[in-house]
Amino acid sequence: MKESNQWDAEHYNKNADFVSRLAYAVVDLLAPKNGEKILDLGCGDGTLALEIQKHGAQLIGVDLSADMVEKSRNKGVEAYVMGATELVFQDEFDAVFSNAVLHWVQDARLAIENVKQVLKGNGRFVGEFGGYGNIQALREAMQTVFDRHPEYGRFQNPWFFPTKEEYKECLQQSGFSVKSIEIIKRPTPIGDIQEWLDIFANGIMKNVPTSQKTGFKNEVEKILRPKLFTPKDGWVVDYVRLRFEAQKANHEK
Protein backbone atom coordinates (compact mmCIF):
# COMPACT_ATOMS: atom_id res chain seq x y z
CA MET A 1 0.00 0.00 0.00
CA LYS A 2 2.32 2.74 -1.23
CA GLU A 3 0.57 5.80 0.03
CA SER A 4 1.44 9.36 -0.76
CA ASN A 5 -0.03 10.87 2.37
CA GLN A 6 1.40 11.34 5.85
CA TRP A 7 -0.95 10.51 8.70
CA ASP A 8 -0.92 12.62 11.82
CA ALA A 9 -2.87 10.40 14.24
CA GLU A 10 -3.70 13.22 16.69
CA HIS A 11 -5.05 15.50 13.95
CA TYR A 12 -6.87 12.57 12.37
CA ASN A 13 -8.56 11.58 15.63
CA LYS A 14 -9.90 15.07 16.25
CA ASN A 15 -11.17 15.71 12.73
CA ALA A 16 -11.76 12.41 10.96
CA ASP A 17 -13.61 10.21 13.43
CA PHE A 18 -16.48 10.08 10.88
CA VAL A 19 -14.37 7.65 8.83
CA SER A 20 -15.06 4.85 11.35
CA ARG A 21 -18.36 6.18 12.70
CA LEU A 22 -20.02 5.92 9.29
CA ALA A 23 -18.72 2.41 8.55
CA TYR A 24 -20.58 0.23 11.04
CA ALA A 25 -22.76 -1.08 8.17
CA VAL A 26 -19.62 -2.63 6.69
CA VAL A 27 -18.94 -4.42 9.99
CA ASP A 28 -22.54 -5.67 9.81
CA LEU A 29 -21.89 -7.00 6.30
CA LEU A 30 -18.77 -8.76 7.60
CA ALA A 31 -20.88 -10.33 10.38
CA PRO A 32 -17.87 -11.41 12.48
CA LYS A 33 -18.36 -14.61 14.44
CA ASN A 34 -16.99 -15.82 17.71
CA GLY A 35 -13.62 -17.55 17.22
CA GLU A 36 -13.02 -16.36 13.66
CA LYS A 37 -9.60 -15.01 12.76
CA ILE A 38 -9.99 -11.70 10.94
CA LEU A 39 -7.52 -9.29 9.36
CA ASP A 40 -8.35 -5.59 9.40
CA LEU A 41 -6.53 -4.25 6.34
CA GLY A 42 -5.75 -0.60 7.07
CA CYS A 43 -6.91 -0.64 10.67
CA GLY A 44 -6.25 3.07 11.24
CA ASP A 45 -6.72 4.03 14.87
CA GLY A 46 -8.30 0.64 15.71
CA THR A 47 -11.89 1.80 16.24
CA LEU A 48 -13.48 -0.77 13.91
CA ALA A 49 -10.95 -3.47 14.82
CA LEU A 50 -12.12 -3.15 18.40
CA GLU A 51 -15.73 -3.40 17.30
CA ILE A 52 -14.94 -6.63 15.41
CA GLN A 53 -13.08 -8.01 18.46
CA LYS A 54 -16.20 -7.43 20.54
CA HIS A 55 -17.91 -10.17 18.49
CA GLY A 56 -15.34 -12.64 19.84
CA ALA A 57 -13.15 -12.70 16.74
CA GLN A 58 -9.38 -12.90 16.94
CA LEU A 59 -8.42 -9.70 15.19
CA ILE A 60 -5.11 -8.64 13.67
CA GLY A 61 -4.78 -5.14 12.26
CA VAL A 62 -2.26 -3.84 9.76
CA ASP A 63 -1.65 -0.29 8.64
CA LEU A 64 1.12 1.53 6.79
CA SER A 65 1.20 4.29 9.36
CA ALA A 66 3.28 3.55 12.46
CA ASP A 67 1.36 6.31 14.26
CA MET A 68 -1.95 4.58 13.57
CA VAL A 69 -0.60 1.16 14.55
CA GLU A 70 0.48 2.68 17.86
CA LYS A 71 -3.05 4.06 18.37
CA SER A 72 -4.55 0.63 17.63
CA ARG A 73 -2.19 -1.11 20.04
CA ASN A 74 -3.10 1.40 22.73
CA LYS A 75 -6.72 0.27 22.30
CA GLY A 76 -5.69 -3.36 22.81
CA VAL A 77 -5.58 -4.40 19.15
CA GLU A 78 -2.76 -6.64 17.89
CA ALA A 79 -1.45 -4.50 15.05
CA TYR A 80 1.53 -4.32 12.71
CA VAL A 81 2.99 -1.82 10.26
CA MET A 82 2.34 -3.47 6.90
CA GLY A 83 0.90 -2.46 3.52
CA ALA A 84 -1.87 -4.11 1.49
CA THR A 85 0.58 -5.26 -1.17
CA GLU A 86 3.12 -6.76 1.24
CA LEU A 87 1.09 -9.01 3.53
CA VAL A 88 3.23 -11.72 5.13
CA PHE A 89 0.42 -14.08 6.24
CA GLN A 90 -0.59 -17.28 4.46
CA ASP A 91 -3.98 -19.10 4.26
CA GLU A 92 -4.86 -18.24 7.84
CA PHE A 93 -7.76 -15.78 8.01
CA ASP A 94 -11.48 -16.54 7.88
CA ALA A 95 -12.10 -13.01 6.66
CA VAL A 96 -10.33 -9.87 5.55
CA PHE A 97 -12.07 -6.58 6.35
CA SER A 98 -11.12 -3.17 5.00
CA ASN A 99 -12.64 0.28 5.40
CA ALA A 100 -11.64 3.51 3.63
CA VAL A 101 -8.22 2.26 2.62
CA LEU A 102 -8.25 0.52 -0.75
CA HIS A 103 -8.64 3.79 -2.70
CA TRP A 104 -5.09 4.65 -1.56
CA VAL A 105 -3.68 1.51 -3.16
CA GLN A 106 -2.77 2.09 -6.80
CA ASP A 107 -2.19 -1.56 -7.63
CA ALA A 108 -5.66 -2.93 -6.83
CA ARG A 109 -4.97 -6.30 -8.44
CA LEU A 110 -1.85 -6.86 -6.35
CA ALA A 111 -3.77 -5.96 -3.18
CA ILE A 112 -6.51 -8.45 -4.10
CA GLU A 113 -3.90 -11.15 -4.75
CA ASN A 114 -2.42 -10.41 -1.30
CA VAL A 115 -5.86 -10.75 0.27
CA LYS A 116 -6.36 -14.06 -1.52
CA GLN A 117 -3.02 -15.31 -0.22
CA VAL A 118 -3.86 -14.61 3.42
CA LEU A 119 -7.41 -16.05 3.33
CA LYS A 120 -8.33 -19.66 4.01
CA GLY A 121 -10.36 -21.41 1.29
CA ASN A 122 -13.96 -20.06 1.34
CA GLY A 123 -12.69 -17.05 3.31
CA ARG A 124 -14.50 -13.77 2.73
CA PHE A 125 -13.25 -10.35 1.72
CA VAL A 126 -15.56 -7.56 2.89
CA GLY A 127 -14.83 -3.92 2.42
CA GLU A 128 -15.76 -0.40 1.55
CA PHE A 129 -13.75 2.37 -0.06
CA GLY A 130 -14.16 5.34 -2.38
CA GLY A 131 -16.09 4.43 -5.53
CA TYR A 132 -16.45 6.05 -8.93
CA GLY A 133 -17.23 9.77 -8.61
CA ASN A 134 -15.96 10.00 -5.03
CA ILE A 135 -15.06 13.54 -3.88
CA GLN A 136 -15.39 14.76 -7.44
CA ALA A 137 -16.03 18.39 -6.51
CA LEU A 138 -12.96 18.38 -4.28
CA ARG A 139 -10.75 16.81 -6.95
CA GLU A 140 -11.94 19.28 -9.57
CA ALA A 141 -11.33 22.22 -7.25
CA MET A 142 -7.77 21.08 -6.53
CA GLN A 143 -7.18 20.50 -10.26
CA THR A 144 -8.36 24.07 -10.98
CA VAL A 145 -5.99 25.57 -8.41
CA PHE A 146 -3.06 23.53 -9.74
CA ASP A 147 -3.92 24.69 -13.28
CA ARG A 148 -3.81 28.30 -12.09
CA HIS A 149 -0.37 27.79 -10.51
CA PRO A 150 1.96 25.85 -12.81
CA GLU A 151 4.75 26.55 -10.30
CA TYR A 152 3.14 23.94 -7.97
CA GLY A 153 3.65 21.24 -10.62
CA ARG A 154 0.87 18.92 -11.84
CA PHE A 155 -2.10 17.80 -9.78
CA GLN A 156 -1.33 14.17 -9.09
CA ASN A 157 -4.41 12.24 -8.09
CA PRO A 158 -3.30 9.58 -5.57
CA TRP A 159 -6.66 7.78 -5.50
CA PHE A 160 -8.30 4.83 -7.23
CA PHE A 161 -12.10 5.16 -7.35
CA PRO A 162 -13.37 2.33 -9.57
CA THR A 163 -16.85 1.58 -10.87
CA LYS A 164 -18.47 -1.52 -9.43
CA GLU A 165 -18.02 -3.26 -12.80
CA GLU A 166 -14.26 -2.53 -12.79
CA TYR A 167 -13.75 -3.74 -9.24
CA LYS A 168 -15.96 -6.79 -9.72
CA GLU A 169 -13.79 -7.78 -12.66
CA CYS A 170 -10.60 -7.34 -10.59
CA LEU A 171 -12.03 -9.60 -7.87
CA GLN A 172 -13.22 -12.21 -10.34
CA GLN A 173 -9.89 -12.28 -12.18
CA SER A 174 -8.28 -13.29 -8.89
CA GLY A 175 -10.80 -16.10 -8.51
CA PHE A 176 -13.15 -14.49 -5.99
CA SER A 177 -16.87 -14.93 -6.34
CA VAL A 178 -18.62 -11.63 -5.76
CA LYS A 179 -21.59 -11.96 -3.41
CA SER A 180 -22.55 -8.30 -3.50
CA ILE A 181 -21.09 -5.06 -4.80
CA GLU A 182 -22.75 -1.66 -4.80
CA ILE A 183 -22.08 2.02 -5.25
CA ILE A 184 -23.56 4.15 -2.47
CA LYS A 185 -23.75 7.93 -2.57
CA ARG A 186 -23.00 9.14 0.92
CA PRO A 187 -22.81 12.93 1.27
CA THR A 188 -20.66 13.29 4.37
CA PRO A 189 -20.66 16.17 6.85
CA ILE A 190 -17.13 17.17 7.81
CA GLY A 191 -16.00 19.79 10.27
CA ASP A 192 -13.95 22.04 8.07
CA ILE A 193 -12.72 21.84 4.49
CA GLN A 194 -9.22 23.16 5.28
CA GLU A 195 -8.76 20.54 8.02
CA TRP A 196 -9.86 17.90 5.51
CA LEU A 197 -7.18 19.11 3.08
CA ASP A 198 -4.54 19.08 5.83
CA ILE A 199 -5.38 15.49 6.77
CA PHE A 200 -6.14 13.87 3.43
CA ALA A 201 -4.40 16.01 0.81
CA ASN A 202 -1.08 16.76 2.47
CA GLY A 203 0.65 14.50 -0.08
CA ILE A 204 -1.03 16.37 -2.94
CA MET A 205 0.12 19.69 -1.46
CA LYS A 206 3.71 18.58 -0.92
CA ASN A 207 5.09 20.71 -3.76
CA VAL A 208 3.17 23.80 -2.68
CA PRO A 209 5.70 25.98 -0.81
CA THR A 210 4.92 26.23 2.91
CA SER A 211 4.36 29.98 2.62
CA GLN A 212 1.67 29.38 -0.02
CA LYS A 213 -0.17 26.44 1.52
CA THR A 214 -2.75 28.65 3.23
CA GLY A 215 -3.31 30.50 -0.05
CA PHE A 216 -3.78 27.18 -1.85
CA LYS A 217 -6.36 26.01 0.69
CA ASN A 218 -8.15 29.38 0.58
CA GLU A 219 -8.49 29.09 -3.19
CA VAL A 220 -9.83 25.53 -2.98
CA GLU A 221 -12.27 26.60 -0.27
CA LYS A 222 -13.52 29.54 -2.35
CA ILE A 223 -14.30 27.26 -5.32
CA LEU A 224 -16.04 24.68 -3.12
CA ARG A 225 -18.05 26.91 -0.79
CA PRO A 226 -20.99 27.46 -3.20
CA LYS A 227 -21.09 23.71 -3.94
CA LEU A 228 -20.48 22.01 -0.61
CA PHE A 229 -21.30 24.50 2.15
CA THR A 230 -24.65 25.63 3.52
CA PRO A 231 -25.20 27.62 6.74
CA LYS A 232 -27.71 24.94 7.84
CA ASP A 233 -25.55 21.83 7.32
CA GLY A 234 -22.03 23.23 7.17
CA TRP A 235 -19.56 21.41 4.91
CA VAL A 236 -20.96 18.25 3.30
CA VAL A 237 -18.54 16.45 1.00
CA ASP A 238 -19.62 14.38 -2.01
CA TYR A 239 -18.44 10.96 -0.84
CA VAL A 240 -19.35 7.88 -2.90
CA ARG A 241 -18.72 4.40 -1.41
CA LEU A 242 -18.06 1.12 -3.12
CA ARG A 243 -19.14 -1.67 -0.75
CA PHE A 244 -18.58 -5.35 -1.53
CA GLU A 245 -18.49 -8.88 -0.21
CA ALA A 246 -16.49 -11.54 -2.06
CA GLN A 247 -15.45 -15.10 -1.30
CA LYS A 248 -12.26 -16.97 -2.08
CA ALA A 249 -12.83 -20.32 -3.77
CA ASN A 250 -12.36 -23.32 -1.50
CA HIS A 251 -9.56 -24.85 -3.55
CA GLU A 252 -7.63 -21.58 -4.14
CA LYS A 253 -4.12 -21.31 -2.74
Instruction: State the amino acid at position 74 in one-letter form.
Output: N
Measured from the CB of residue 156, what is the shortest distance to ligand BEZ in angstroms?
A: 14
Measured from the CB atom, the residue of 6 and 122 that comes closer to ligand BEZ is 6
Residue nearest ligand BEZ by beta-carbon distance: 130
Measured from the CB of residue 118, what is the shortest distance to ligand BEZ in angstroms?
A: 23
Residues that bind ligand BEZ in the complex, under the rule CB under 6 A: 100, 103, 130, 134-135, 159, 200, 239
Measured from the CB of residue 159, what is the shortest distance to ligand BEZ in angstroms?
A: 5
Measured from the CB of residue 37, what is the shortest distance to ligand BEZ in angstroms?
A: 26
Q: Identify the burial level of 11 via C-beta atoms within 10 angstroms of its C-beta, where 0-12 means exposed, 13-18 middle and 19 or more buried.
A: middle
Measured from the CB atom, the residue of 106 and 117 that comes closer to ligand BEZ is 106
Measured from the CB atom, the residue of 185 and 253 that comes closer to ligand BEZ is 185
Measured from the CB atom, the residue of 120 and 186 that comes closer to ligand BEZ is 186
